[in-house]
Amino acid sequence: QVQLQESGTGLVKPSQMLSLTCTVSSGSITTSYYAWSWIRQPPGKGLEWMGAIAYDGSTYYSPSLKSRTSISRDTSKKQFSLQLSSVTPEDTAVYYCAGAGWPNYDHDYWGQGTQVTVSS
């Protein structure tokens, strides 16, 4: 069973950088046809897919967040990370990392989520 765990600061100041890391418990993040995503849920709202890094290192981003978002990976550590710049209080959300595989790329594996609050 693949397990994922988010880590990072829970409080970020406006205009600063939000940084989170997801650690994958087993397997390889380069396993063929898998993608590793960041998804968030603001309070009272639905899930928002932010972006993903695929098994071959290709990255994909939500158009609404692309200008502020960067996803990277460290394959030896089985980790992938999220950087979200210039945050505002509207970026306050529970942030999840998740894994998805072929053929439908449903997110079958989820971290527990981590609350990130943007506030002074």
Quick count: other Cβ atoms within 10 Å of Cβ 58? 9
Tell me what pLDDT residue 26 has. Answer: 82
Tell me what pLDDT residue 68 has. Answer: 98
Residues 39-60 pLDDT 10s = 999 999 999 999 999 999 999 9
Within 8 A by CB and 6+ apart from 45, the residues are none
Residues (pLDDT < 50) of the chain are none
Tell me what pLDDT residue 76 has. Answer: 94
Residues linked to residue 68 through DSSP beta bridges, in sequence order? none
